[in-house]
Amino acid sequence: MSRRVLPFLLGALLAGCDHTTPLVPTNVAAASGDAQTDTVARVLPAPLVVTVMVEGGNPVVGAPVVWAVQSGGGSVTAATVTDAAGQASATWTLGPIAGAQLVHVTASGRSVTFTATALPDAPTQASKNAGDKQNAAPGAALPVPYAVLVQDQFGNPVPGVTVNWAAAAGQGSVSPAAGVTGASGVATTVHTLGPTLGADTVTATVPVLAVTLTFVSTGLRQAILVATVPIPANYGIHDTFVRDGIAFVFAWNSGVLIYDVGNGAYGGSPSSPQYIGGVITNASGISAGPDVHNGWWFWNPNTGEKKYLFIGQEGPAFGGIGNGSSGLIHVVDVHDLAHPVEVAYFHKAGPDSTGTHNFWVDEPNQILYAAYYNGGVVALNVSGTLSGDLSSRLIDSLRIGGVGNTYTWGVQLYNGSLYAVDMLSGFWQLNTSAGHLSFAAGGNNVPERFGSDLWVANGYAYTGTWGGFYRTSGVPGNAIKVWQLVSGAPTLVDSIITTGIATVSDVEVSSNGKLLMFSTENGPNAGFHFYSLADPAHPAFLLKYLVGTGVHTATLGYIGGRVYAFGAKDPGSPALIILDVTSLTQ
């Protein structure tokens, strides 16, 4: 090719690339205005600026640029063109939704995204967000915190707003009493209900809005499970005695197990019982073993000693109800609860075999009264130091129904009389003078059922019935008998019949006389049953707490101003069940 042709071709090529030929952008970049922060619905203080370039970084003049809001709901200049520096700008008005917002920018198929953070506007409204209208037992902390939500005019949550909480007088407490809303616009507090039944009120005040909201929850009667303590499956647990935050669990051939359930000396509480110690008492020739059934921790008011624990051994019966029984009273020295030691025993001598069941101790007079099955009622002197064989301390015994009609389940001292319930001969009132026993009234008054436990309070007695098998065909042991004790013989005034059970095995009235509790077994309604004694002659049902395998015995314990039910859950998975029943006693 000649040298003259080359300049010509080069000139022609350059002529085809004059300044009127548009350049194709190869890159769009954010120049300024990215990552700004402002309040929702506001115009950002700085415009959004992009630079449009070709390969090599040269600016493109006159390139069309399209702007579009990608999220947040705001607005932006729709379209612009680049200037001599290859830049284009737009104004962005944030949308009403707090949080990250996006604008998408495109030029000839190339794009870039701008971000901004939209902050909530000033608070304009507050509302209840959670926790209102709960129910719990009086004195309990509500499970769901009260929550207040503070928002701006667009409904965005507003953080950093002070909320003050206050419980109405006598209606519990709140924690915290003041707080600020978090990132979600929510402030919370926990309401612990007051000590009485009924509605409790808490107010939430938002000072910046001059708004007060009211939360109302209700204290209801409830039985609340606080602990379950497994017991060795060596038959399991038969009875429990609770005093001063110490629980003595009578666990058959596993012996007596001692727990701190609120005394605190061993770190225990009702919700976290701590094992202290235990002892397996002597079998004393009983083939079935120690058969540790029940007990009483004796506090001697004359000496101040809390030294002795009396334990009932319920050995095998012979020949059915009303015939032979077996078992001794064992005495354990528990002055060191961690190291109890058996020190004495009592065996009731006689021509036939008799065995002990439940106790009541007249502590001021230092007399132990024992229900002794076919042996009737026994009075035993337990004053002074107890050691070895206590047979010489027998004060008296009384076979209350006579031979063949006596199988005494339990006894209780009340207003100078000793009351006894007998499986065969019913409910009795006995005179006792320094432990010497004689008949006063009653007896042979529950012919259709076998009697079981008793409790006497408020001038009335409440006796249970047993139904391991039926005394009368088709009549289970599902009754509580209510007896008036004002004058003369005990008078039957009412009966509570509980369907879906076969046995009422234990009965107790709260120390304030307002609650009747009994344990039940064998059926779909087995467990704890609670009745109001607002009218002690006619108990009114409150609630039941069902336990599938049944509850053999139940007793009340008073710890830290609260009332707990301690129940002996039947096998196959025996356990000590602890319920908070404080609200039921109000």
**Bond preceding residue 207 cis, omega within 30 of 0:** no
Residue 1 reports pLDDT greater than 60: no
How far, CA to CA in Å, does 193 sit from each of 136, 342, 561?
A: 8, 46, 15
Residue 4 reports pLDDT greater than 60: no
Mean pLDDT is lowest, of 184-193, 302-311, 348-357, 441-450, for: 348-357
Best CATH choice for the domain 20-119 from the list 1.20.1250.20, 2.60.40.10, 2.30.250.10, 1.10.10.10: 2.60.40.10
How many other CB atoms are there within 10 angstroms of residue 180's CB atom? Answer: 11
User: What tokens appear for 143 in the block?
Assistant: 């499970």
How do residues 393-429 score in pLDDT, each as one tens digit? 999 999 999 999 999 999 999 999 999 999 999 999 9
Give the model's pLDDT for residue 11.
37
How far, CA to CA in Å, does 523 sit from each of 72, 449, 540, 550?
A: 63, 17, 22, 8
Give the model's pLDDT for residue 7.
36
User: What tokens appear for 21 in the block?
Assistant: 């030929």
**Bond preceding residue 57 cis, omega within 30 of 0:** no
Say which CATH architecture domain 233-585 belongs to: 7 Propeller (2.130)
CA distance 515 to 478: 19
Give the model's pLDDT for residue 505.
95
Do 271 and 225 contact (CB within 8 A), yes or no?
no
How far, CA to CA in Å, does 169 sit from each of 27, 134, 202, 205?
A: 70, 19, 10, 16
**pLDDT > 90: percent of the chain:** 89
CATH number of 123-219: 2.60.40.10
How do residues 348-374 score in pLDDT, each as one tens digit? 988 788 999 999 999 999 999 999 999
User: What stretch of H or E contains 351?
Assistant: none
b/e code 45-73 from CB counts within 10 Å (16+ = b): eeebbbbbbeeeeebbbebebbbebeebe
Confidence of residue 10 (pLDDT cuts 50, 70, 90): very low
φ and ψ at residue 92, rounded to 5 degrees = -115, 120
Intrachain domains 20-119 and 123-219 with the same fold: yes
Ranges of each domain in the chain: 20-119, 123-219, 233-585
CA distance 371 to 394: 14
Residue 15 reports pLDDT greater than 80: no
Give the model's pLDDT for residue 22.
60
CA angle 24, 29, 31 (to 5 degrees): 130
Q: What is the mean pLDDT of residues 42-70?
A: 96
State how far Cα 277 lies from the chain centre: 26
CA angle 339, 576, 270 (to 5 degrees): 80
Give the model's pLDDT for residue 151.
99
Give the model's pLDDT for residue 21.
54
CA distance 557 to 576: 13
Mean pLDDT is lowest, of 179-183, 215-219, 264-268, 484-488, for: 484-488
How do residues 368-391 score in pLDDT, each as one tens digit? 999 999 999 999 999 999 999 999
**What is the overall mean pLDDT for the chain?**
94
Sheet holding 162-167, edge to edge: 135-136, 211-219, 198-206, 162-167, 178-180
How do residues 285-334 score in pLDDT, each as one tens digit? 998 999 999 999 999 999 999 999 999 999 999 888 989 999 999 999 99
